A and B are shown apart, each in its own frame.
Chain A
Amino acid sequence: SQELEQSPQSLIVQEGKNLTINCTSSKTLYGLYWYKQKYGEGLIFLMMLQKGGEEKSHEKITAKLDEKKQQSSLHITASQPSHAGIYLCGADHTGNQFYFGTGTSLTVIP
């Protein structure tokens, strides 16, 4: 969706390296969600951020929502092959409309 811009579109990293994926909206977000998708499978929920400045972590994945609630970043520390997949951000702009970003394809080389 053009409502949410993700960057980069694809990423190839060596195992053990850190990486960051960005998600930007032109509108204020009510909620920002990060999902991971493996090829041929459904989306798996990672984290949800609602408050400006909020930061959450799960294992080696950290997500932040900026103070203006228009940009979020997903950071993976010491990447592993199991982190490979497509990462999508999803956003709730009004409480009644939900959009997904275009996705970032991550490849981790052992």
Chain B
Amino acid sequence: DAGVIQSPRHEVTEMGQEVTLRCKPISGHNSLFWYRQTMMRGLELLIYFNNNVPIDDSGMPEDRFSAKMPNASFSTLKIQPSEPRDSAVYFCASSLPQGANEQYFGPGTRLTVT
């Protein structure tokens, strides 16, 4: 099993540009989570999906952030326009049905907005 796959691993962009982060969950997992990790705020849940449907997006910072899951094997997190304060490591994780199953994390995307 390849595990959770994220791309790109590193992204450097200028303020105002659009950024798209990608995630491929583990096959058979029907819950997918997007997290953001910073030194100041630690690991924060942004949004999660069950069976491709967004369940809780209360962690999404603002309208500049959007996430989609068009099918069971792919999800994107988009930031438009990006700002320097968006610089962080973004993790995607997947699990079997939410509630009693551990989450498997991808390697993360390190985003730097200059």
Contacts and interface: CB of A to CB of B under 8 A. Distances in A.
Contacts of A98: 33, 45, 48, 98, 103
B108 A103 contact: no
Contacts of A1: 42-44
Interface in B75-109: 91, 93, 98-100, 102-108
Contact of A43 (B48, B100, B105, B110): B105
Nearest to B58: A97
Contacts, number: 58
B43 A100 contact: yes
A43 B93 CA distance: 9
Interface string A28-64: 0011010100001111110010100000000000000
8 contacts: A33-B103, A42-B4, A42-B105, A50-B100, A95-B99, A98-B45, A100-B42, A100-B43
